[in-house]
Structure 1
């Protein structure tokens, strides 16, 4: 998205893709809200595996709450989606080089060039502005001097299977909470059809008692989908939002997971990656034209997203410390908060505040948990 936005606004852009194929490997549950996608790019039908109309949350005592939200979001086909974005970038003049990991930087006061490994040869690629969109491990940000260290408390360990031979409601995502299922995290079922879904577990390593995410996922699968067939396996780390991480340093901008622009409660990151990339690309092109400075990127992004990211961060801090009794109380509060079981719009920060202040037990719980 960053490459497309920069080129569409007049910049000359090279996109260095470290993998041999764009969109692979898929390390993502592939869910995004309708607003999160459509505020950045008009979706194409081939990008969409499924349209989501609501969500069910299942508590540790198996009690559940379902809320319907017409066209709430999409389950993407990330391989097709990522290739679609790459085609859009190429159409506005972006040069795309695959199998081109960045292995070094040439720096003076600012970055003069990146060193790229192409078929074993070290190639120097010069630029005036650089954008690091290289994911949670972000070697580029690290080489530029940004502290990318993530503590065990600020990263979740996740494992996901793409499965079929199941029977589910294709219009609903389902979230399972409880410390037996996923300590400090949750399990999810994101349907791609009525018979196929991304099913995964995310846990807080500091609370898992030494057991890995795959072990929790296998137990979950045995209980929920014993007849399913596993088609693909994905594992990885999911960082939490880090408000102290700089989004710019010198002539480098950092976007998406590389910048820790992730929802700390659910681990969702696609919409933030798209939006941060779009803004960074626009600012980069403006800088080249002499019409913008790079700090405009974090200003614009945080003006749109800081309230939401901070609300999710607060909730994530509470969620990771909650016991199963706390989860049951949260579910009871949600049950009373959505009596009609249908909404047309969701403002997460507002819902969080209204839930807490409407329910004295939740307010006490929040104070108690934050103080732990």
Structure 2
């Protein structure tokens, strides 16, 4: 059986995995990036929104090849259709951003990894993994051929419920109450009030989560929702069909693509590394628990992991103690923010449709100034005394 040897093996070529491979290769390590799909980036797994600041923090310059829409704001819609607009003419939007074409963006990130020196194997599935004295021996198959990969460090970037993490003895699987079920159409014929803004719909339209419409230019948009299975007897797809049929923006639109998947919204596990193994991206719960967005946070985790892994290879120290530097830096870079939004998400789950409506209605009379996201949440609570009683120790 053929044996391939490398310093670092990254399993999963999503944005997080490709970013890890790029930075590990730039650090001088021999890197192999593999993905089970024949086309990196397909099918897409999210609503495709990212912040401009997030891209800048990763050193990524925007490219019109993978940007479909620049955004100018957010529209928040309560259950009774009361809406609140947060647009650049009313408020400073530090998280303003754009909508990606993930099928192009993901490939571009993998290409960046290749340009940095990483080797890429597509249509390659990891089928097993065993510990050796100096790393891991990973069994894989591609196009009917079986082979093995010997790696000093394995980086698991294989998504929610990571098999690679489990093979390495790390339990990163999200609990049912922390795993959103998501369903999304890409649709044509969408009639938005302002197609420069993303829209979020809250309440029983998506129990335990929210629904969204993200414009992609012209009359095209990603229309989807995420739910917690513990909050409803219906599937995410059933809720999506109901949302599309009842929403004025989508009732006459037609789907051209359907995506279904899980989204871990319970925060990062405490343990993301062990000897010779690191876990990143969705596999590591590097997702904003409030919005479900994980592209930038996952790539940030990937960047840190790639740098730490290359450093570990250079120093010849592949122990958990050395790799824990990744855990510590991740906690500082994204962990604090994830924990903050986890508290906000838990608070939002306590609000019923009536309370959400009363908050939105009270917001109609507020003159927005340049305030931070946290200050906005504080204002939101103040205008609803009933909601305030539920706030507890959030702040």
How high is the TM-score relative to the length of structure 2?
0.86
CA root-mean-square deviation: 2.2
**Cα distance change on mapping 1:123 and 1:330 into 2, 3 Å:** farther
Which residue number in structure 2 is paired with residue 311 of structure 1? 340
SS of the residue aligned with 1:289? helix
Match status 1:7 vs 2:25: yes
Rounded to whole Å, the distance in 2 between the matches of 1:298 and 1:241 is 17
- Alignment match, 2:325: 296
Look up the match of 1:99.
Answer: 123
- Aligned partner (choices 185, 198, 212) of residue 235 of structure 2: 212
* TM alignment of 1:347-366, pairs within 5 A: 347-353=372-378, 355-356=380-381, 360-366=385-391
Q: Match of 1:253? A: 278
User: Contact 1:14–1:94 (CA<8 Å) still a contact in 2?
Assistant: yes
Offset at residue 10 of structure 1 (A): 1.1
Question: Can you give the 5+ residue segments of structure 2 that lack an aligned partner in the other structure?
Answer: 1-18
Post-superposition, which runs of at least 4 consecutive aligned residues in structure 1 deviate over 4 A?
Answer: 332-336, 353-361
Q: Which runs of 5+ in 1 are unaligned?
A: none
Question: The residue matched to 2:185 in structure 1 has which SS?
Answer: strand
State the Cα distance separating 1:176 from its structure 2 match.
0.8
Deviations 1:26-77 (A, max 9, x none): 1111011111222112222211111111000010121110011368111000
In 1, the alpha carbon distance for the partners of 2:174 and 2:208 equals 16
C-alpha deviations, 1:77-132, integer Å up to 9, x for none? 00110111111111111110001111111214664221111223331111111111
Query: How many angstroms apart in 1 are the aligned matches of 2:69 and 2:342?
Result: 28
Matching of residues 198-347 of structure 1 within 5 Å: 198-208=222-232, 210-224=233-247, 225-290=250-315, 293-332=322-361, 334-335=363-364, 339-340=367-368, 343=370, 347=372
* Rounded Cα–Cα distance in structure 1 between residues aligned with 2:144 and 2:100: 34
* Cα distance, 1:133 vs structure 2: 0.7
How many aligned residue pairs are there?
363
Q: Give 1:166's aligned residue.
A: 190
Are 1:34 and 2:66 counterparts? no
Query: Is 2:206 the counterpart of 1:188?
Result: no
Q: Secondary structure at the match of 2:98?
A: strand
CA distance in 1, matches of 2:164, 2:313: 21
Closer/same/farther in 2, CA of residues 170 and 299 from structure 1, 3 Å limit:
same
